[in-house]
Amino acid sequence: MSHPDRETWMDYVYGEADHPESRRLEEHLASCAQCAEQVAAWRRTMGLLDECAEPTPAETRRPIRLGRVARWAMAAAVLLLAGYTAGRVSAPGRAGLAAVRADLAAARREVRDDVLAQARREMDDKALATLAACRSMTDERLAELVASFDATHRSDMVALATVTERELLRTQRQIAALAYEQTARAGEGGSQESGTPTEGG
Amino acid sequence: MESVGRVRSHTDSRGLHPGARAVAMTDEEAMARLRDEGDRRAFGQVVKRWRARIVRLCRRMLNDADRAEDVTQDVFARLLARPESYGHSARFSTFLWRVAVNACLDERRRNARSAAASPLAETAEAESAVQPSLLAAAVREERAELVRVALARLPDHYRAVVVLRHYEGLKFREVAEVLEIPVGTVKSRMAEALDRLAQMLEPLAEPGTKRKERQP
């Protein structure tokens, strides 16, 4: 007895086989225990997949997605630092690392304030999409910046990049801590995010 | 599934916004307006229409609600920043599913190191049977969780097919377009995925666990 191939059975079990094909396959099933067993096994597994209606449990989500806040903070920090670095590169006389640190500290404070303000606001999808776009564009600007580095400034830039990276990490940690405090305060106030996505389409 | 989503502009009849037209707009038209006129409002309708479905896809692909949200935002942000990336050579739905699936695969690759210790790890033991001892006390949610874990343990190319066909309801032909592989390959992957899942979930399968037959 020749058996229909697995691809044909997939059409059948997922209801994509046309009527004549379905009838032919059903006739085969009636007379072939081997195929009948295989199709029954597939249907059992499909039934098990149906038991998992939700992709991932919503209750595992955090009230406020710190990851997201931290990423926006990073985006803002990168944007500021990129602008700062670009300014340094193009400046006729570059200051020492002490000045770099001072400027970065100011930038960090500014980022922190911005992030806290942002965290307080209700972040709707549109704002998030815009911020994400900013991040994407920031990445592009950074790539362009790196590409434009003059080889003669390479050593200076290595020093700057080292400081920048270190400051960036510090900023990230501080922002995460601040965002966490903000979340904790929000939690004490009884506010909860209600961001479970609704059915689309 | 619908091939082309229709979105309706929510502008008022006073025409206060110069770009606002109270006309039905396909996703393709909305993307054209974003690309040609910078009409973000049109794009907002696309996001509104598709966001929940893309989040759901990402959650199934990544088994992580937070990362799914992030990846979804990246998908739409990239589209907003570069609307020309949609070349109109395919239906927007096909294009968007493809971008989202690829974004999930990229995310998984980026997190491959940390994922080594997570349930998503594709290690040799990852596809071993779920511990029977866990199943003895399994309640309904635990069963669902085991299914989620089994799904997460499938290799990416199988999981993408299962998510798109079984959960998102795309036809095999549409899945083939999204993943840019032959339709026969999609079906054979689906069969193989069901076999692997059956092996992993064997202790869960009871005689009563049977799916309602799908009609052609």
Confidence of residue B121 (pLDDT cuts 50, 70, 90): very low
Between CA B141 and CA B156 the distance in angstroms is: 24
pLDDT tens by residue, A64-116: 454 555 565 666 666 666 665 655 555 544 556 667 667 777 777 777 777 66
Q: Choose the weakest-confidence range: A61-65, A154-158, B75-79.
A: A61-65
The answer on pLDDT for B122 being more than 50 is: no
Residues paired with B25 in a beta bridge: B7
- Is residue A101 less than 8 Å (CB to CB) from chain B? no
Which amino acid is located at B158 in the chain? Y
pTM of the model: 0.55
User: How is residue B166 annotated by DSSP?
Assistant: I
Q: Of the given ranges (B22-26, B48-52, B127-131), which has the lowest mean pLDDT?
A: B127-131
Beta-carbon separation of A56 and B148 below 8 A: yes
- The amino acid at residue A62 is R
Least confident segment among A73-87, B116-130, B169-183: B116-130
Question: Considering chain B, what percentage of its residues have pLDDT values greater than 90?
Answer: 44
- Would you call A176 an interface residue with chain B, using a CB distance cutoff of 8 Å? no
Give the residue from A200, A103, A13, A138 showing the smallest Cα distance to B47: A200
ipTM score assigned to the predicted complex? 0.71
Question: Which among A48, A65, A71 has CB closest to B205?
Answer: A48
Closest CA to A43 of A17, A75, A10, A20: A10
* B12 vs B149, higher pLDDT: B149
Q: Is the pLDDT of residue A136 over 90?
A: no
Tokens of residue B70, six digits? 């992030």
Does A150 reach chain B within 8 Å, measured CB to CB? no
Cα dihedral sign, B75-B77-B80-B85:
negative
For residue B8, what is the enclosing H or E element? Answer: strand B6-8
Q: B10 and B32 in contact (C-beta within 8 Å)?
A: no
Residue A170 contacts by C-beta under 8 Å, 6 or more apart in sequence? A108
pLDDT at B210 exceeding the cut of 60: no
Chain B nearest-CA distance from A128, in A, is 7
DSSP state of A199: P
Burial of A111: CB neighbours in 10 Å, binned 0-12, 13-18, 19+: buried
Range from A23-37, A147-161, A164-178, B192-206 carrying the lowest mean pLDDT: A147-161
Is some CB atom of chain B closer than 8 A to the CB atom of A35? no
A28-37, B12-21, B52-61, B163-172: which has the minimum mean pLDDT? B12-21
Q: What is the mean pLDDT of chain A?
A: 70
- The rounded distance, in Å, linking the Cα atoms of A123 and A131 is 10
Residue of A nearest to B206 (CA): A44
CB A42 within 8 A of CB B211: no
pLDDT at B126: 43
Is the CB of A67 inside 8 Å of chain B's CB atoms? yes
> Cβ of B70 and A51 within 8 Å?
no
Distance from CA of A152 to the nearest CA of B (A): 33
Q: Which residue of A has its CA nearest to B43?
A: A126
Q: How far apart are CA A118 and CA A72, in angstroms?
A: 9
Please say if the pLDDT value at position A134 is more than 70: no
Whether A22 sits inside 8 A of B81 (CB atoms) is no
| Residue A188 CB-density burial (10 A; 0-12 exposed, 13-18 middle, 19+ buried) | exposed
Using CA atoms, how far residue B16 sits from A6, A25, B12, B42, in Å, is 58, 60, 8, 15
Q: Does B171 touch chain A (CB under 8 A)?
A: yes
Q: What is the pLDDT of residue B167?
A: 93
Q: Which residues of A touch B204 (CB under 8 A)?
A: 48
Q: What's the DSSP call for residue B203?
A: G
Confidence check: pLDDT of A147 > 70: no
* Contact yes or no for B201/A48 (Cβ under 8 A): yes
Q: How confident is the model at residue B18 (pLDDT cuts 50, 70, 90)?
A: very low
Predicted pLDDT at A161 = 75
Asked if A135's CB is within 8 angstroms of B51's CB, the reply is no
Q: Report, in angstroms and rounded to the nearest whole number, the Rg of chain A calculated over CA atoms.
A: 28
The 3-state DSSP class for residue B192 equals helix
A14/B205 Cβ within 8 A: no
Query: pLDDT value at position B187?
Result: 97
Looking at residue A62, its pLDDT comes to 44
| A10 contacts B144? CB cut-off 8 A | no
Summarize the confidence of residues B140-155 as an average pLDDT.
84
Say how far apart CA B191 and CA A41 lie, in whole Å.
Answer: 11
Positive or negative: CA dihedral B71, A169, A142, A161: negative
Asked if residues A81 and A168 have their Cβ atoms less than 8 Å apart, the reply is yes
Could you tell me what percent of chain B has a pLDDT over 70? 70
Q: Which of residues 66-85 of B touch A (CB under 8 A)?
A: 66-70, 73-74, 76-78, 80-81
Distance CA A64, CA A73 (A): 14
Tell me the two tokens of residue A173.
């940690």
Query: What percent of chain A stands above pLDDT 90?
Result: 23
Q: State mean pLDDT over B39-56.
A: 91
Q: Please say whether the beta carbons of A15 and B166 come within 8 A.
A: no
pLDDT for residue B98 is more than 70: yes
Query: Under an 8 A CB cutoff, do B211 and A19 touch?
Result: no
Question: Residue range B116-121: average pLDDT?
Answer: 44
Do A49 and B151 make contact, defined as CB atoms within 8 angstroms? yes
Q: Where are the alpha helices (DSSP H) in B15-111?
A: 27-37, 40-62, 65-81, 92-110
pLDDT band of residue B113 (cuts 50, 70, 90) is low
Q: Count residue pairs from A and B with Cβ separation < 8 A.
A: 163
Contact residues, chain B, for A22 at CB < 8 Å? 216
Mean pLDDT of chain B: 78
Among the partner-chain residues A68, A126, A130, the one whose CB lies closest to the CB of B69 is A68
* A183: closest CA of chain B, how far (Å): 16
- Separation CA A35–CA B191 (nearest Å): 13
Residue in chain B closest to A63 (alpha carbons) equals B66
The answer to whether B203 faces chain A, any CB pair under 8 Å, is no
Contact of B97 with chain A, judged by CB distance below 8 Å, is answered with no
- Residues B130, B150: Cα–Cα separation, whole Å: 8
Task: Report the pLDDT value the prediction gives residue B2, as an integer from 0 to 100.
Answer: 39
pLDDT reported for residue A162: 74
User: Which tops the pLDDT comparison, B71 or B139?
Assistant: B71
Please report residues of B whose CB lies closer than 8 A to that of A21. Answer: 216
